[in-house]
Amino acid sequence: MLTDTIIEDDRWDAAGLAAMAERAAQAALAHLRLTGDYEIAVMGCDDARIATLNADFRGKPRPTNVLSWPSEDLAPDIEGGAPLSPDPDPEEEEEEEEDEPHHLGDLALAWETCTREAAEQGKPFGDHVTHLIVHGVLHLLGYDHIRDGDATLMERLEVEILGNLGLNDPYREIDGPHGS
């Protein structure tokens, strides 16, 4: 399994977060042609927990839909460029146990925020969460949306990956690549 799901709010378990996370993460890596033994931790929590995490790690004491913590900085120096490969350093690989997957990072999703956004956007909850997981996985892989060129690349990849999963373009009916 690529994803290790941690459930802090039982509503995520009932919604099938583990299966959604595995499907979305596998689709993202396959689309980027990343093969190898990787691992991503995905936590399903509530708004209170994610607000604390958002305050602790980003200085923003409010809930958000998804947070990501990449294990390494793979971001490109050139705007709109492809990030570095997450393949482990051969020297680093010798130090790790052979059977251990390369950890890409951690994601956290907030139940109330995800539920509210899906309803506001008129999207099925599972489609919205799948999009957020793909979005988070791309962050773990060095993609970002701060600079325009990077945002264009990240949005295009999200649309392609979700299309491969049979899901609609999540940006079709909202303003800009990351909402209004």
Q: Which residues are annotated as a binding site for Zn(2+)?
A: 135, 139, 145
Q: Is beta strand 102-110 parallel, antiparallel or unpaired with respect to 66-70?
A: antiparallel
Q: Answer for the pair 68, 140: CB distance below 8 angstroms, yes or no.
A: yes
**CA-to-CA distance for 108 and 28, rounded, in angstroms?**
17
**CA-to-CA distance for 157 and 7, rounded, in angstroms?**
28
CB within 8 Å of 22: residues ≥ 6 apart: 1, 2, 3, 5
CB within 8 Å of 90: residues ≥ 6 apart: none
Which residues does residue 103 pair with via DSSP β-bridges, in sequence order? 39
Nearest to 157 by CA among 175, 139, 174: 139
Q: Answer for the pair 15, 124: CB distance below 8 angstroms, yes or no.
A: no
